[in-house]
Structure 1
Amino acid sequence: MIWFDFGGVLSPPLDDLFDSYHARTGITPRQLKTALAAVGAELDVEPLAPIELALLTEEEWGRSMVRVLEEANPGIDLSRARFERFGEQWFEGVRANPVMVSAARHAKEHGYRVGILSNNVVEWEPYWRAIVAPVGEVDCIVDSCRIGVRKPDPEIFRRAEKEAGVPAEECVLVDDLAENCTAARRVGWRAVQFRNSAQAVRDLAGLIGLPALV
């Protein structure tokens, strides 16, 4: 069973999404990341955990983001940002990573089960599902906001195993974050850290013996 992360693997790199959001709203990646961290810190969790664990609704979280951005950046122009519907604006125009889509389809064609294991947000589901639609039907989706556990918590991997009915030794994670790959390996999974598309496809093929993607 090959589990693909959504953000940064099946989607474009996260830095590209931050840059695109900056171009649309004028909010710099640094300003946005600092605000994400501040809102998370208020709940004593990681930056995106408030919405990836559904501790806050998107609207509640959006209000908090506006507040901390204005506090940290007096006079900041937020007129182009729609934090109450952040996901809709964040994913506007985003297309799936075509190489990783091909890799997922290639794996399915060669008899591997494919799943998506993602830290994600309840209100963002229509947008990210539309983005990954080119992958086609997958065997299992495990989403942090639906189960109340997020990567790299070891429990999310156990929940994924149970949901898919697959033992740890048959699970492979493809994820762009080193800490998620490390956590997966600690519970008996194998993992490929995505750094770029060519490297990830090559490493995955080498790890599981998948024929080369032409």
Structure 2
Amino acid sequence: MDELYARYAEETGISPERLRRAVADVGADLGMHPLAPLELGRISEAEWGARVRAALRARHPGLDLGAARLERFGEQWLGGRPGNPVMAAVVRAVRAAGHPVGLLTNNVPEWEGHWRRITAPAGRFDAVVDSCRVGVRKPDPAVFRIAAAASPTARHVLVDDLPENCAAAAAAGWRTVCFRDDAQASGELSALLGIPLPGPGTLPAAGTLPATGPLTSGRAGRTP
């Protein structure tokens, strides 16, 4: 996330702290978690962006917002962002070993094209549970019940970079890998599943793993 904030700040002049506070203001005005209005599909990206713009102006009247496409935030936040080649290879290897893989994501209706592009190298998911489609988001326990019902397996592993999501999944009876970096996540998942998995510096040559397939993961195009 830090690199996304840094890139956004470079493009727009809006610091990470200012953006976070404005997003929190919008959530508070609606009586929700800062990101819930977007990730539950309660308001459109355009309305959310207009509210964030107003919150920034209220806190920082002199701030130049001319470079910020807030009403089309996803284009600027995720546009051109590459996927993670190591984790894409991990997902393909997990699927090749016979394990179904799903995507459990807190996301935004207008951003589906972005996260599908970002996750495409991982191959086809056996199930997708998107917060904005099902009306509940991580770490709500209900979303793990929905994901489990959509899964063809009885046991599940969540790979996610937010500790609160991992804690909620563990409370629901899932095993978890709290992502910190590629090597750590690949190693922990390898140990949990009992299969060798690629890591940094050990990516297989192109074409040696199937392009289709995919682990129940929480990492896709991320909201701020």
When the two structures are superposed, what TM-score results if normalisation uses the length of structure 1? 0.91
**SS class of match (1:137):** coil
> 1:49 aligned to 2:49?
no
AA partner of residue 156 (structure 2): C
* Residue-pair matches, total: 199
- Give 2:75's match in structure 1, choosing from 88, 91, 97: 88
Q: CA deviation at 1:62?
A: 0.8
**Partners in 2 of 1:146 and 1:164 — Cα distance?**
16
SS of aligned partner of 2:190: helix
2: distance between equivalents of 1:136 and 1:166? 19
Q: How does 1:160-199 map to 2 (within 5 A)?
A: 160-167=147-154, 170-199=155-184
SS in 1 for 2:74: helix
Tell me whether 1:20 sits opposite 2:21 in the alignment.
no
Give me the whole-angstrom Cα distance separating, in 2, the residues matched to 1:96 and 1:210: 23
- Indicate the residue corresponding to 1:135 in structure 2: 122
Taking only the aligned residue pairs, the percentage that are identical comes to 50
Which consecutive unaligned segments of at least 5 residues does structure 2 have? 203-224
In the aligned structure 2, how far is the partner of 1:84 from the partner of 1:180? 28
Matched, 1:105 2:92: yes
What letter corresponds to residue 26 of structure 1 in structure 2?
G
Question: Which residue in the other structure is 1:10 paired with?
Answer: none
Q: Equivalents in 2 of 1:117, 1:26: separation in Å? A: 32
CA-to-aligned-CA distance 1:152-185 (integer Å, 9 cap, x gap)? 0000000001112433xx1000000111001001
- Residues 90 and 197, structure 2, Cα contact 8 Å, conserved in 1: no
Distance 1:208 1:165 in 2: 17
Q: Which runs of 5+ in 1 are unaligned?
A: 1-13
Cα deviation, residue 207, structure 1: 1.3
Q: Give the SS at the match of 2:102.
A: strand
* Bigger helix share: 1
**AA in 2 matched with 1:151:** K
Distance 1:212 1:54, change over 3 A: closer
Cα distance per residue 1:19-44 (max 9 Å; x no partner) = 11111111111111111111111112
* CA displacement at 1:55 relative to structure 2: 1.0
- For the residue of structure 2 that corresponds to 1:174, the secondary structure is strand
1:141 alignment partner, SS class = strand
Aligned equivalents of 1:210, 1:48: Cα separation in 2? 36
TM-score of the two chains, using structure 2 as the length reference: 0.87
Q: C-alpha distance in 1, partners of 2:52/2:39? A: 15
Amino acid at match of 1:195: R
Distance 1:155 1:50 in 2: 17
Residue type of the alignment partner of 1:90: W
Q: Which residue of 1 aligns with 2:59?
A: 72
Aligned to 1:8: none
> Which residue of structure 1 aligns with residue 209 of structure 2?
none
Q: Does 1:30 align with 2:17?
A: yes
Alpha-carbon distance between aligned partners in 2 of 1:72 and 1:51, rounded to the nearest angstrom:
21
Structure-2 separation of matches of 1:18 and 1:209 = 36
User: Alpha-carbon deviation of 1:46?
Assistant: 1.1
